[in-house]
């Protein structure tokens, strides 16, 4: 039996993996502070992904995209990829080759991928899919507190809360064991749809505020206005621990509840009720999720919720606070160790000369040779194969043909490349477009560390050997680096050797892992970063001071603005997207688990019955959901509790079922996160190629 952690979300529930009588590994829950002996259905079934029927065990290569793949040996695949990389860089420059990573990769892989890009390839063109998930709250957290750690307190602290605001988060469906920590709290759920979490809030006497998609910034301003009008602000805290309240208030002052109701659709009396509930609680938290972040104004929206928390004196106090519920398994660690376009390990900025000098010394290179910041994730993907853009892409742990916004355009960009190399365990929708596919090990077949939503570094242990023919991502990076002329010692394949280097590279940085040793991890120490060498971990941040030089948190003067694309006569509805309990991200893993696939086999669109009727649709019909960018064919589910102006689609499905065929790649100016949560759409009955509707 091996005790390890779930392959999916950032709660990183602990589990035991054990072989059953049939010889296959099966998961059962282990006791751990984040999951306290619970798992969701994804975790329970996670071991089945290891034996997926279409698991790749041989590298695939095609020299002609019109031809099928050929199975080749590893030397042939890696030599071909390295030769093409060399040729493209010789012809078009270093930045002709790009790298794309994932918030699902271990800290060691994230680190090694960043080093591989900057040292072996010398390219600035690296980013990762975490840019689509957490970057707005990260930017807002850095702006407000001087530091970004999703939850700056242990998740177990939530158990003592009286009131918790969940803005744009649906943990009842996306990370159910988290709800166990909230069982003593009244919940205020902010979500355009009546999600499972919203239903749970109402069941417990809490509130569900359902703003029009794209107006949650206005709602946060309205709540701040109501809280001040009710005399609930913590003036002493604002004076002693913050700066910038007056400038922030100048914006909120115009958002009295009736005006906020007019813009958001949330009744004014509910806004006042929510403000009173939150402002009079002894212990309260404001937690945000992707619903707040995935907007062209996501950073400002996250800032507006932080402003509310600061005005009530919540952050930096035991028993209260603000936090962001990170989504991907290593969404936190993935943004700390260098696979982001603007970062170096230890959460260092790549444009900081001192940071460059420190990391260059660890890597044994000249700081001047480190490339500068490159394009952000969507901008990188959108430039693929275009004039001046990358001609080749090396992709690890991601499936942008399904998960990137405006997915049809993304598939065109991937197809325009001269070289696409994908490391994956199956032929994902993106791998199917590649020239070279490298079969790699899965979560339970290799060891490494992950950093969960509370900034706690965890040991993910190897429970089984990978199938014959399969290599780890670290072995792939080693193989490519050596063929690109690097010293083999520079790219070790042992995760602990990489961790040792990561520790040195992160030492002294904001996310200091220098004290994270294999022994401390094995001993089960709760290693919340920063963990300096020989020092203690930091479960709770900001208790004495925030991380800005003056020790104070900063209010941000933010203002509501409309979504990048609003409704009009042609596209009269708004579509928003999200996750299901039984699926994860692009579904590349969970769609291969029979029980999960059978439970939710196809995409659906949630529609209010009156809206459906106006579009000529009934429950169970297939609808064509159309935006200016593309069409998603989805089964209609009628929801009488839905907003009349809003439809919802889960985003785990490929091809014509991909919700991201609809989504808008308008970017937040700070975080560069796309506006996944608001697209103007219309619905009509779907007629298949044979003509006629399909019911």
Q: Which residues bind ligand SF4 (CB under 6 A)?
A: 6, 8-9, 11-13, 35, 39-40, 42-43, 175-177
Strands 456-460 and 527-528: antiparallel
Q: How far is the CB of 391 from ligand SF4 (least distance, A)?
A: 37
Q: How far is the CB of 36 from ligand SF4 (least distance, A)?
A: 11
C-beta of 315 vs 587, nearer to ligand SF4:
587
* φ/ψ of residue 425, rounded to 5: -95, -15
C-beta of 40 vs 625, nearer to ligand SF4:
40
Strands 604-607 and 631-638: parallel
Q: How far is the CB of 330 from ligand SF4 (least distance, A)?
A: 11
Q: How many helices (H) and strands (E) in the chain?
A: 23, 30
Q: How far is the CB of 531 from ligand SF4 (least distance, A)?
A: 22
Half-sphere exposure of 330 (CA within 13 A, CB side): 31
The DSSP output letter for 693 is B
Asked if residues 203 and 658 have their Cβ atoms less than 8 Å apart, the reply is no
Q: How far is the CB of 11 from ligand SF4 (least distance, A)?
A: 4
| Per-residue burial over 374-389, b = 16 or more CB atoms within 10 Å of its CB, e = otherwise | bbbbbbbbbbbbeeeb
Asked if residues 441 and 50 have their Cβ atoms less than 8 Å apart, the reply is no
* φ/ψ of residue 35, rounded to 5: -115, -15
Q: Transcribe 308-346 into DSSP letters.
A: HHHHTT-TTBTTBEEEE---BTTHHHHTTTT-STTEETT
Q: How far is the CB of 175 from ligand SF4 (least distance, A)?
A: 4
Q: How far is the CB of 217 from ligand SF4 (least distance, A)?
A: 28
C-beta of 6 vs 499, nearer to ligand SF4:
6
C-beta of 129 vs 627, nearer to ligand SF4:
129
Nearest to 268 by CA among 213, 220, 205, 226: 226
* Cis amide prior to 101 (ω within 30 degrees): no
C-beta of 173 vs 435, nearer to ligand SF4:
173
Longest dimension (CA), the chain: 71
Instruction: State the burial class of residue 637 (Cβ atoms within 10 Å of its Cβ: 0-12, 13-18, 19+).
Output: middle
Q: How far is the CB of 109 from ligand SF4 (least distance, A)?
A: 18
Report the run of H or E that residue 588 belongs to, with start and end.
Answer: none
- CA 387, CA 83: separation in Å to the nearest integer? 22
C-beta of 180 vs 532, nearer to ligand SF4:
180
- CA 683, CA 627: separation in Å to the nearest integer? 9
Residue with tokens 């992707």: 290
Q: How far is the CB of 551 from ligand SF4 (least distance, A)?
A: 35
C-beta of 259 vs 461, nearer to ligand SF4:
461
- CA 424, CA 402: separation in Å to the nearest integer? 14
Q: How far is the CB of 541 from ligand SF4 (least distance, A)?
A: 23
C-beta of 419 vs 444, nearer to ligand SF4:
444
C-beta of 176 vs 539, nearer to ligand SF4:
176
Residue of minimal Cβ distance to ligand SF4: 43
Strands 527-528 and 207-209: unpaired
C-beta of 42 vs 375, nearer to ligand SF4:
42
């Amino acid at each position: 039996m091996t005790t390890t952690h779930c392959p999916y979300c950032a709660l990183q529930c602990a589990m035991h993996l054990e072989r059953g009588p049939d010889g296959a590994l099966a998961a059962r829950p282990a006791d751990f502070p984040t999951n306290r002996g619970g798992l969701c259905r994804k975790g329970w079934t996670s071991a089945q992904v290891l034996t997926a029927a279409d698991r790749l065990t041989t590298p695939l290569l095609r020299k002609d995209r019109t031809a099928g793949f050929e199975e080749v040996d590893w030397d042939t695949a890696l030599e071909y990829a390295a030769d093409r990389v060399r040729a493209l860089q010789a012809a078009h420059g270093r930045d002709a080759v790009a790298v794309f990573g994932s918030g699902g990769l271990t800290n060691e892989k994230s680190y090694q991928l960043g080093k591989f890009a900057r040292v072996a390839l010398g390219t600035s063109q690296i980013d990762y899919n975490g840019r689509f998930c957490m970057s707005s709250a990260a930017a807002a957290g850095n702006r407000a507190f001087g530091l970004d750690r999703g939850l700056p307190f242990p998740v177990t602290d939530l158990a003592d809360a009286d009131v918790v605001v969940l803005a744009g988060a649906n943990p009842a469906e996306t990370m159910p064991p988290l709800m166990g920590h909230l069982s003593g709290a009244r919940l205020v759920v902010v979500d355009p749809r009546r999600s499972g979490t919203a239903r749970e809030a109402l069941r417990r006497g809490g509130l569900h505020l359902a703003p029009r998609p794209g107006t949650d910034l206005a709602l946060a301003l309205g709540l701040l206005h109501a809280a001040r009008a009710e005399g609930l602000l913590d003036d002493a805290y604002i004076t002693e621990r913050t700066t910038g309240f007056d400038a922030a208030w100048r914006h909120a002052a115009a958002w009295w509840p009736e005006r906020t109701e007019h813009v958001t659709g949330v009744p004014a009396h509910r806004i006042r009720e929510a403000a009173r509930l939150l402002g009079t609680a002894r212990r309260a938290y404001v937690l945000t999720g992707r619903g707040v972040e995935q907007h062209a104004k996501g950073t400002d929206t996250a800032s507006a919720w932080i402003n509310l928390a600061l005005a009530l004196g919540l952050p930096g106090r035991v028993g209260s606070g603000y936090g962001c519920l990170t989504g991907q398994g290593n969404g936190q660690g993935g943004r700390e160790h260098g696979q982001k376009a603007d970062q170096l390990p230890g959460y260092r900025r790549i444009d900081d000369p001192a940071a460059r000098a420190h990391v260059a010394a660890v890597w044994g290179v000249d700081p001047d040779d480190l490339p500068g910041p490159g394009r952000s994730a969507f901008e990188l993907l959108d430039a693929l194969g275009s004039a001046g853009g990358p001609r080749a892409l090396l992709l690890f742990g991601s499936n942008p043909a399904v998960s990137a916004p405006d997915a049809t355009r993304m598939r065109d960009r991937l197809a325009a490349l001269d070289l696409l190399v994908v490391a994956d365990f199956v032929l994902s929708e993106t791998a199917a477009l590649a020239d070279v596919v490298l079969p790699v090990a899965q979560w339970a077949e290799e060891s490494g560390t992950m950093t969960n939503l509370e900034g706690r570094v965890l040991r993910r242990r190897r429970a089984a050997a990978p199938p014959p023919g399969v290599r780890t991502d670290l072995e792939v990076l080693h193989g490519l680096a050596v063929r690109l002329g690097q010293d083999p010692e520079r790219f070790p394949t042992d995760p602990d050797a990489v961790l040792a280097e990561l520790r040195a590279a992160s030492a002294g940085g904001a996310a200091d892992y220098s004290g994270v040793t294999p022994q401390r991890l094995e001993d089960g120490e709760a290693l919340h970063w920063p963990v300096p060498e020989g020092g203690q971990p930091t479960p709770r941040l900001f208790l004495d001071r925030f991380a800005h030089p003056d020790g104070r948190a900063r209010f941000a003067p933010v203002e509501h603005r409309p979504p990048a694309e609003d409704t009009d006569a042609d596209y009269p509805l708004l579509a928003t997207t999200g996750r299901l309990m039984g699926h994860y991200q692009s579904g590349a893993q969970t769609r291969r688990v029979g029980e999960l696939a059978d439970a939710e086999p196809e995409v659906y669109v949630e529609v209010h019955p009156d809206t459906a009727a106006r579009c000529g649709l009934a429950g169970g019909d297939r609808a064509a959901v159309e935006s200016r960018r593309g069409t998603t064919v989805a089964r209609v589910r009628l929801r009488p509790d839905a907003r009349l102006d809003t439809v919802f689609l889960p985003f785990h499905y490929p091809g014509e079922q991909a919700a991201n065929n609809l989504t808008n790649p308008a970017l937040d100016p700070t975080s560069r996160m796309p506006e996944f949560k608001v697209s103007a759409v219309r619905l009509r009955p779907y007629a298949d190629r044979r003509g006629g509707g399909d019911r």
